[in-house]
Chain A
């Protein structure tokens, strides 16, 4: 599988990364090189193999339902690039 320029644009859009027109061709070449490299996986027979999604082989611990956090709005907002009072602020969204 190799990427055409339309797909490169679509991925960039999905990933919310602005890509300028002159960058498209370079990105296309680089991404196709990586995809070409991983192509060798096609040679592996994985019939009947259960996928492994994590590095840890155990069941999940469950936490007790107690309030132990929050009440730190100042710290939550301290790094915000823009805010209105105690809210985060972004350019207006039209639904």
Chain B
């Protein structure tokens, strides 16, 4: 029997079906991986081994009864932004340090119904605001990857950094993530795994702690395109409790991942070739182009002229929505309270103590851009440019079936680097934000290593609700790239 945590979800499902091992065995292997690795990585805020064993036992029973679900017995990490009934849910914020939701998010409810096993709640940037997982109120997450010949701690990316680190280090077979401006794709790229942000409206937002409502989308993170397809199949679908949820059938993503790219037109947007972009990333991008062409895709140069405005638009829209979404953390109905002289003093002390620096910054920027006299200059203007960004995509997708770009402008950086100036940190999301603003699906697939031995991802962007093409291109890239490098810190690994 192989080392269980190394299996892909697809392989584990086969093994479970063939009774090569049980869900309990698979889960125990992951629990012990967490026990040995998480003290180093801090990928989990809350571990739920008892719940996991209970769910695994139920999965084994279901399989024995012939009623196994599509994810029966698969151990997952759940980003601590998804409410799981009866399990502490913090959004990595001290303000929710002791919050136990009496309700379940739709995505996790669907995963439970599919038979998945929850290993715990994965760390993230506080309220998903960050690209490095260093803003968590529960400590930074360490990337399981290290530079060649160095054991300097690197960031896993963010905000779904705990999910990414858990999956990359084999503590979990897959994880849920959420992506507001790149929070699934950028950490996937930094940790050598695959992640997809589906179309806005594909996965229900019900029960997911909100950051920026018009951008937030849940999606899967796993070690293969096929595994992401399996997970997304279970996570997505219409939910009447989310007004922005799309009433559309869920396609067979797993089949789509094997479709190939023959005859597809793939666009290469000129504007993603940014000043100062490293030659390694440019080189990897060209490799990606070649791989797709070799497999029968037609490569087309396209233009998305408003790309460079995506990031500034995002840093107006997302904080504005966040400033409002986070107003509910006032110490009245749930969460941490710090007493004050009167109600207002209580609010101010509660929020000063409960929120970290980055969250406060964003709330303040958001408050400012919505305030009297500034709304038109900032928020309204940003919304109009957001419309232009969507128009860029619409026009490009009239010519091509998908776009290929790098996922991030760099590989993982060191914990503590890039923290002096918030704007430098924001630049991490330069390639991922436009798709978020337009609401289109986008995936990151590991495509190679940089000179220091760190993984780099390529991003595939598709049309609204055409995740199938994204999976098809992702599958083709994965096959051609043959990415097989392993992180330094991993279950069953050398360290």
Contact = CB atoms under 8 A, between A and B. Distances in A.
Interface of A: 1, 3, 7-8, 11-12, 14-19, 27, 30-31, 33-35, 37-41, 44, 46, 49-58, 60-61, 63, 72, 75-76, 78-82, 88, 90-93
B126 to A, nearest CB: 14
Given A75-B102, A81-B331, A82-B337, A31 B364 contact: yes
Contacts of A18: 345, 348-349, 351-352
A50 B384 CA distance: 6
A51 B439 contact: no
Nearest 10 A-B pairs (CB), nearest first? A55-B200, A55-B439, A51-B383, A79-B334, A18-B348, A81-B337, A52-B387, A18-B352, A46-B384, A38-B312
26 contacts: A12-B364, A15-B323, A17-B364, A18-B345, A18-B351, A33-B423, A38-B315, A38-B378, A39-B312, A41-B309, A41-B313, A41-B381, A46-B384, A51-B384, A52-B384, A52-B390, A53-B383, A55-B244, A72-B102, A78-B100, A80-B334, A81-B336, A90-B332, A90-B343, A90-B346, A91-B342
B426 A91 contact: no
A10 B332 CA distance: 23
B381 A79 contact: no
Majority SS at the chain A contact face? loop
Specify the main secondary structure of chain B where it touches its partner: helix
Contacts of B315: 34, 37-38
Contacts, number: 168
Contact of A33 (B247, B309, B313, B421): B421
Given A1-B377, A30-B361, A49-B388, A40 B383 contact: no
Interface of B: 98-100, 102, 200-201, 214-215, 217, 240, 243-244, 246-247, 306, 308-309, 311-313, 315-316, 323, 327, 330-337, 339-349, 351-352, 355, 360-361, 363-365, 367-368, 371, 374, 377-378, 380-388, 390, 421-423, 426, 436-439, 464
B348 A16 contact: yes
B313 A31 contact: no
A65 to B, nearest CB: 14
A91 B337 contact: no
